[in-house]
A and B are shown apart, each in its own frame.
Chain A
Amino acid sequence: MAKGTQPFLDLFLQLRSAGLVLTLEQYDLLVQSLEQGMGLGDWPDLKRVCRCLWVKQEPKSRDAQLFEQVFEEYVREKQLVQPLPAVAPERERDDIGPSFENRLPKIPPRQFPDSQAEGERLAPVAIESIKTDWEPLNTKNLRLQPTELPVSTGDVEAGWRVLRRPVAEGLPVELDVEATVAKISQEGLFGEMVLRPAARRRTELVVLLDDAGAMVPFGPALKPLLEAVQENRVSPARLYRFTSYPTEFLYPAGGGRAVPVRQVLSQLNGRRTVVMVLSDAGAATRSYSEERVRETEAFLQALRPCVREVLWLNPLPEERWEQTSAMAIAGQLVGPRLGQMLPFVSESLSQAVLLAGGAG
């Protein structure tokens, strides 16, 4: 079993390294329950306690399955008196076991100089060459996890929650105590209550995606964000495409007829709409295009009065913007209510969200 003072700490650490989000406080909870005599019966008993302390998802979820898997492995390890040799699972995976080797055709026994009888023809002797240090690059275990990409689905949803800050709107139904007091001090008499509209969360998102060739490599990185919009996890939100820079028309994401920019703008709400532009602005191709800068500026100018905030997320890091159109466009996007160009990393998504939430 586990060490005297820290029971099942190894289990806790294994679960953590497997990807479960656990804090020390939660380990402490287990220690507390063990002290109270809970979960000491047998393995299923302990499992029940650990599950309800550490897994906060329904049984079919990833977290729950991960927990089951790690816990089973842990129990198997502890139950075996002699642990399996570390290489065993490796063999299994490669599907080449000793039995397989035995089945291979055998080379007839070699003849060596010292085992030769005199007078026989000398057998050639092989000399072992020096081993090189070079090993072939192992790409077998190289896996790019989608979670390693800059922005995860969770970030998108968390950001959206912040963005949807409450805005007082609609019919006045809530008592405004401060305004009521102010009114009494003005009139010297308590005449009527001052009502205000209740705060509601209203934010609309419009995503403008650059689908030019230079943006193709960033497709997987942008996927969580676009998926969140398309699957209505972020709603209300609309997604339009443009190529390199927005011209007179925008193209709806799901296909269909192009929509004039003017029509899109007329549907936006100056107090609610946040526009998010996803484009490299020429930084990916290291090019400077006068036309691109001019057209983009014209578009931004038309856009600004219609929206609460413009955020430009550039998939390239800031140092790659220099001497390209991106620098010039970023220069237009400086100052309150003018928007901002940010590199597309997780931090800037939250920064963007705070910015959009704070303005207006």
Chain B
Amino acid sequence: MSSQNINYNYSGDVQPPNKGRTGVTDDQGRIYYPYIPSDDLQEVVNLAIKLERPLLLEGEPGCGKTRLAAALAYELSCNNLENVQDKAGNLEKSWPFYIWTVKSVSRARDGLYTYDAVARLRDAQLVGSDPLQLKDFLGEEESEDLLARLKNKKGYRKFGKLGKALRHQDQRPVLLIDEIDKADSDFCNDLLLELDQLRFEVQETEESFPAPEQKPIIIITSNREKPLPEAFLRRCLYFYVEFPAKECLNLIVDRRFGGLKKGQKKVVAEALERFYRVRELLEQQPGRRSPGTSEFLEFLTVLLDKPVAEAREDLKNLSERLPLLGTLLKNRETQKSVRDGLKEKS
């Protein structure tokens, strides 16, 4: 496979086979679900790929920001790799896909590389001790390994997700930087050079890695818990992922819970109606968080596990079914206001 004839276009049409709630896995245990992008989103992804710019996705929690990267990686695997799927539909090979989940303690450099200075120090100390004792202690082979390791400074650095993505040479890997707003406010600023010029340096070994020919496709998600610095925003393409419209959500349900019986389809239709009613009630109250797609899918999972009659009964009296409502609404005040709203209507 030469790098010229790789198809990088994201159409959103290549979907994992319908495997119900489990999804398909790849050779590294990552799970892929069907994903239905809006036309706008699909176009923006292609724009980001063509312009070689990171794509920043914002939107309500649970509206499918993180899943997009996996969907893209899945489509690239299917379009460009041969014999990828086994009989069950799982991927035997996968497109290079890195997920860097940002935590509050994450530092920008950790994404590029970490250098194990302590291990090097320990090795140096061991070598400096009595050679006979060392061989006794570690054995012939191990002590030679130790010496070889110590001579090679580079053996102590490990690349992070971003570092790995920037060193890829054959294809353009997909890199997901998830929840970038969780980190410290300096985090984004520390990444400016790397995201802009796609090159980095390892100080400890004095290596520098120039920008790769195959630029990674970078997708960044943020929940807007903190505003991101202006300079960082300038370098990214921006897209606000809207909550899917009713038809789109219906399609998503169809893909995720395919092969439903007639009665179950009715449950889905009723659940959708109730769900949009709940969202409507919450939209009138600023400051309350509306449930997202992922929560709706959980809600539906619970309902579809029940016999049809019972599920429909539950939906009718949703305001009284607290455990069920708990899959959608995650705090007491919100639950209370929605219950009042639902009661008023019925």
Contacts and interface: CB of A to CB of B under 8 A. Distances in A.
Identify the interface centre among B53, B224, B238: most chain A CB within 10 Å of its CB: B238
Contact of A161 (B43, B47, B185): B185
A29 to B, nearest CB: 6
B47 A181 contact: no
A139 B118 CA distance: 71
A198 to B, nearest CB: 8
Contacts of A56: 56, 233-234, 236, 238
Given A33-B47, A33-B51, A48-B44, A190 B238 contact: no
Nearest to A157: B227
Nearest to B233: A56
B121 A58 contact: no
Contacts of B58: 58
Contacts, number: 61
B234 A25 contact: yes
Chain A interface size range: 20 to 34
B234 A23 contact: yes
Interface in A252-306: none
A323 interface: no
Contacts of A198: 105
Contacts of A175: 117-118
Interface string B223-262: 0100100100110111110100000000000000000000
Given A29-B53, A181-B121, A52 B234 contact: no
A298 to B, nearest CB: 38
B118 A48 contact: no
A138 interface: no
Nearest to B39: A48
B125 interface: yes
A36 B43 contact: no
Interface in B108-159: 117-118, 121-122, 124-125
Contacts of B50: 33, 36, 38
B46 interface: yes
B40 interface: yes
Contact of A36 (B40, B51, B124, B242): B51
Chain B interface size range: 20 to 34
Contact of B43 (A48, A180, A181): A48
Contacts of A193: 118
Contact of A189 (B43, B118, B125, B233): B125
Given A38-B46, A58-B224, A184-B125, A52 B239 contact: yes
Contacts of B227: 157
Contacts of B234: 23, 25-26, 56
Nearest to B129: A189
B199 to A, nearest CB: 18
Given A161-B185, A181-B121, A184-B125, A52 B47 contact: yes
Given A26-B234, A33-B50, A56-B233, A190 B121 contact: yes
Nearest to B237: A52
Contacts of A190: 121-122, 124-125
Contacts of B43: 38, 48-49
A53 interface: yes
A190 B50 CA distance: 52
B184 interface: yes
A48 B51 contact: no
A181 B184 CA distance: 29
B117 A177 contact: yes
Contacts of A48: 40, 43-44
Nearest to B229: A161
B238 to A, nearest CB: 5
Interface in B53-89: 53, 56, 58
Identify the interface centre among A21, A157, A161, A190: most chain B CB within 10 Å of its CB: A190
Contacts of A53: 47, 237
A55 B184 contact: no
A29 B51 contact: yes
Identify the interface centre among B56, B117, B242: most chain A CB within 10 Å of its CB: B117
A49 B47 contact: yes
Contacts of B40: 48
Contacts of A49: 43, 47
Contacts of B117: 175, 177
Contacts of A21: 230
Contacts of B53: 29
A201 B240 contact: no
A94 to B, nearest CB: 37
Interface of A: 21, 23, 25-26, 29, 32-33, 36, 38, 48-49, 52-53, 55-59, 157, 161, 164, 175, 177, 180-181, 184, 189-190, 193, 198, 201
A-B CB proximity, top 5 nearest: A190-B125, A56-B233, A56-B238, A36-B50, A52-B44
Interface of B: 40, 43-44, 46-47, 50-51, 53, 56, 58, 105, 117-118, 121-122, 124-125, 184-185, 224, 227, 230, 233-234, 236-240, 242
Given A23-B234, A58-B240, A175-B117, 20 more contacts: A29-B53, A33-B47, A38-B43, A38-B47, A38-B50, A48-B43, A49-B43, A52-B238, A53-B237, A55-B238, A58-B58, A161-B185, A164-B185, A175-B118, A184-B125, A190-B121, A190-B122, A193-B118, A198-B105, A201-B184
